[in-house]
Amino acid sequence: MVNGDIIKAAGYQSGAVRPEYRGRGLYRDLMQRAYAWAEQAGYETGILLTDKPSLYQAYGFSVIPQFKFSGPPPVFKPKSDSNRRQLDVATAEDVGLLRDRLATRQPVSEQFAVVRQIEMFLLNAHFDASVHLTYLAEIDAVVAWTWGNDGCFKLLDIVAREMPHLDTVLSNLAIEPEHVEVYVTPDCLAWQGRPVAYEGSCALMMTGTRFEAREAFAMLSPMADF
Ligand SMILES: CC(C)(COP(=O)(O)OP(=O)(O)OC[C@H]1O[C@@H](n2cnc3c(N)ncnc32)[C@H](O)[C@@H]1OP(=O)(O)O)[C@@H](O)C(=O)NCCC(=O)NCCS
């Protein structure tokens, strides 16, 4: 989802050439074939995360600056009796619930977010045991979140058919953080934080000039990392 439009995007992930075969143009050849295939298959854009942006600039990819959003929480009243439980991606029942919600989710942002990307969410949840996946039954939403070292609430993603506002999320989680950091573009959350440049280990890159200037405040959820 980019600025209200659903874009069919091809994601490029984990390309490598064995050390003894490097420097002979094999990667260039492979990627040129991949781009040609994606174009023919009707993908409107390419997207990738890389620590070597210069490798892709020649093919029309440009870096999309990412921002996290930081600020005080909205005003809300914690609901200590809210119907909530932690999900565990090691259990078939919870994976089933997650798959179902991920397949029918509203993108977390209208401005910049994945629409369908079930596998990476599950894999990222599996890889990072510090991520809480809390199912909030009253609003039928799964919230991916974690605590920062300084006690700040870090919101990583919300999986819901109808996007709840941040005050509702915090109220149903029944926690009272002093500070909030949001790792998605927060346009649907009825909350505004200060954008802070996000220094991830990899740069987010996309093809297509229409993504360059307008997405000044893009953030791809860490749960969508690939
Ligand atoms: C990066 C990697 C895939 C390049 O493979 P390769 O077969 O040696 O690359 P090629 O010989 O096809 O070179 C293709 C182009 O990339 C450039 N390039 C190669 N390695 C590069 C690097 N580390 N950083 C930036 N550009 C690089 C080459 O100069 C060449 O540029 P040109 O088309 O202008 O001549 C290989 O070094 C590798 O497997 N590295 C470890 C895994 C990795 O980093 N993968 C990329 C993940 S985003």
Domain with residue 56: its CATH number is 3.40.630.30
Centroid of ligand 1 to alpha carbon of 27 (angstroms): 6
* CA-proximal residue: ligand 1, atom 40 (nearest): 16
Residues 151, 94, single domain; the answer is yes
Residue 117 counted as domain residue: yes
Q: Is residue 137 part of a domain?
A: yes
Please check whether residues 116 and 179 belong to one and the same domain. Answer: yes
Strand order in the sheet with 45-50: 9-12, 45-50, 203-207, 61-63
Residues 56 and 91 in one domain: no
**Does residue 46 sit within a domain?**
yes
CA 78 to ligand 1 center in whole angstroms: 51
pLDDT at 212 over 60: no
Q: Say if 206 falls within a structural domain.
A: yes
Kindly state whether residues 146 and 92 are assigned to the same domain.
yes
Tell me: do 61 and 51 sit in the same domain: yes
**Are 135 and 152 part of one and the same domain?**
yes
What is the per-residue pLDDT for 211? 57
Give the CATH number of the domain where residue 151 resides: 3.40.630
15 CA from centroid of ligand 1 (Å): 10
Closest ligand 1 atom to Cα of 24: 11
> In this structure, are residues 224 and 157 in contact, taking their beta carbons and an 8 Å threshold?
yes
Helix (H, G, I), strand (E, B) or coil at 162: coil
* d(CA 199, ligand 1 centre) in Å: 23
The closest-lying atom of ligand 1 relative to the alpha carbon of residue 18 is: 39
Does 80 lie in the same domain as 44?
no
Residues 87 and 172 in one domain: yes
- Total structural domains in the chain? 2
Ligand 1 geometric centre to CA of 26 (Å) = 9
Q: For 144-189, what is each residue's pLDDT tens digit?
A: 999 998 889 999 999 999 999 999 999 999 999 999 999 999 999 9
27 and 137 belong to one structural domain: no
Which residue puts its alpha carbon closest to atom 23 of ligand 1? 52
Query: Is residue 152 one of the residues assigned to a domain?
Result: yes
Classify residue 82: in a domain, yes or no.
yes
> Residues 120, 139: one domain?
yes
Least confident of 20-24, 71-75, 206-210: 206-210
Q: Distance between CA 222 and CA 97 in Å, rounded?
A: 20
Residues 125 and 138 sit within 8 Å (Cβ to Cβ): no
For atom 35 of ligand 1, which residue has the closest CA?
Answer: 25
- Residue 164's domain comprises 68-195
On whether both 175 and 203 belong to a single domain, the answer is no
Q: How far is CA 182 from CA 45, 75, 108, 157, 213, in A?
A: 26, 16, 11, 8, 22
- Residue 217 pLDDT grade (very low, low, confident, very high; cuts 50, 70, 90): confident
| Residues 17 and 111 grouped into a single domain | no
Identify whether 1 is part of a domain: no
What pLDDT score was predicted for residue 167?
A: 98
Counts for the chain of helices (H) and strands (E), in that order? 5, 11
Pocket of ligand 1 (CB under 6 A): 15-17, 22-28, 50, 52, 54-55, 58
- Look up the pTM and report it: 0.93
